[in-house]
Amino acid sequence: MLQVDNLRVSYGPIQAIKGLSLSVNRGEIVALIGANGAGKSTVLRTISGLVRPVSGKIIFLGEDITSLPANKIVQRGIVHVPEGRRIFANLSVMENLELAAFLRMRRDRKGVVADFERVFALFPRLKERSKQRAGTLSGGEQQMLAIGRALVTRGQMMLLDEPSMGLAPILVQEIFRVIMEIKKQGMTILLVEQNAFAALKIADRAYVLQTGEAVLQGEARELLQKEEVRKAYLGG
Ligand SMILES: Nc1ncnc2c1ncn2[C@@H]1O[C@H](COP(=O)(O)OP(=O)(O)OP(=O)(O)O)[C@@H](O)[C@H]1O
Ligand SMILES: [Mg+2]
């Protein structure tokens, strides 16, 4: 579904991604794991058109999207949930969802309403708080809203950047449970996580990034067993 070929990305003199290739098949959860600064967020930002690569190709559903602007890439069906839960703090929960559905509202009101119900079924807490100002939600609830917004945008592929960041263990479990559920409903997911253990548990395949390069890749289940992965990312 997605193919990244020999991608190079620089921020001025800093080479953040140094010739990375990866692929994501339809229906998979693929995890990108690696230390702080390894380049994980940069990969997602480049796929979604927020950062331009120096070289390399990004192919989505057989078409080259490397030089498309970000809004066109969303229209093709790639929805990015960035690090740090970008939501509209001054709008209510419901208004945040409505805004995410804005483009679809006119031609597919029924579908949008069904999607709101779907989001509220996945995250009952959001339903209880639909009128609450999003900025006053807890961190975990804001993360749920960010994922809810992505669902309502109706992509075919979701790029999730650190969905568990800063959450209490119980909420981390909750978020990962929902990611599994979203996969079951047919979504393809590229997941960036510091929480390598949790990510590998739910992923089909994974890539381990080190200073802009993939140093390991394979079935998530196999990577979980690997000595070097356990030592470096799973705390032994
Ligand atoms: N806008 C920017 N300008 C300059 N350098 C940047 C910029 N964004 C990222 N970098 C650098 O690129 C490298 C990769 O950053 P990136 O955010 O992709 O890492 P990451 O793997 O997502 O890290 P983390 O786990 O801390 O989120 C880092 O060295 C970072 O300092
Ligand atoms: Mg990051």
Residue 195 — φ and ψ, nearest 5°? -75, 75
Instruction: Name the residue with higher pLDDT: 100 or 5.
Output: 5
Residue 58 contacts residue 46 (beta carbons within 8 Å): yes
pLDDT at 194 (0 to 100)? 85
Residue 235 has pLDDT above 70, yes or no: no
Residue 59 — φ and ψ, nearest 5°? -110, 125
Spacing, Cα 193 to ligand 2 middle (Å) = 8
Residue 117 has pLDDT above 90, yes or no: yes
The C-alpha angle 14, 206, 32, rounded to 5 degrees, equals 35
pLDDT at 167 (0 to 100)? 82
CB atoms within 10 A of CB 69: 11
**Local confidence band at 122 (pLDDT 50, 70, 90 cut-offs):** very high
Choice from 14, 18, 210 to test ligand 1 binding pocket (greatest atom count within 8 A of CB): 14
User: Hey, whose CA ends up nearest to atom 29 of ligand 1?
Assistant: 37
Spacing, Cα 120 to ligand 1 middle (Å) = 33
User: Hey, whose CA ends up nearest to atom 30 of ligand 1?
Assistant: 37
Spacing, Cα 36 to ligand 1 middle (Å) = 8
User: Hey, whose CA ends up nearest to atom 1 of ligand 1?
Assistant: 11
Residue 200 has pLDDT above 70, yes or no: yes
User: Hey, whose CA ends up nearest to atom 25 of ligand 1?
Assistant: 36
Q: Among all chains, which residue has been given the structure tokens 């709101």?
A: 116
CA pair distance 136, 91, nearest whole angstrom? 10
**Local confidence band at 236 (pLDDT 50, 70, 90 cut-offs):** low
Residue 182 contacts residue 27 (beta carbons within 8 Å): no
- C-alpha torsion angle, residues 230, 208, 173, 202 (rounded to 10): -100
User: Hey, whose CA ends up nearest to atom 26 of ligand 1?
Assistant: 36
Q: What is the pTM of this model?
A: 0.92
Of 19-28, 29-38, 95-104, the range with the lowest mean pLDDT is: 95-104
Q: What atom in ligand 1 is closest to the CA of residue 41? A: 22
Spacing, Cα 36 to ligand 2 middle (Å) = 7
If phi > 0 it is left, if psi is from -120 to 50 it is alpha, else beta; for residue 91 that is beta
Spacing, Cα 37 to ligand 1 middle (Å) = 5
**For the chain, what percent of residues have pLDDT higher than 70?**
99
Q: What atom in ligand 1 is closest to the CA of residue 39? A: 18
Average pLDDT across the chain, whole number: 92
Spacing, Cα 3 to ligand 1 middle (Å) = 22
> pLDDT tens digits for 129-140?
999 999 999 888
User: CATH homologous superfamily for 1-77+202-236?
Assistant: P-loop containing nucleotide triphosphate hydrolases (3.40.50.300)
* Residue ranges around ligand 1 (CB below 6 Å): 11, 14, 16, 34, 36-42, 194
- What residue segments make up the domains of the chain, in order of their start? 1-77+202-236
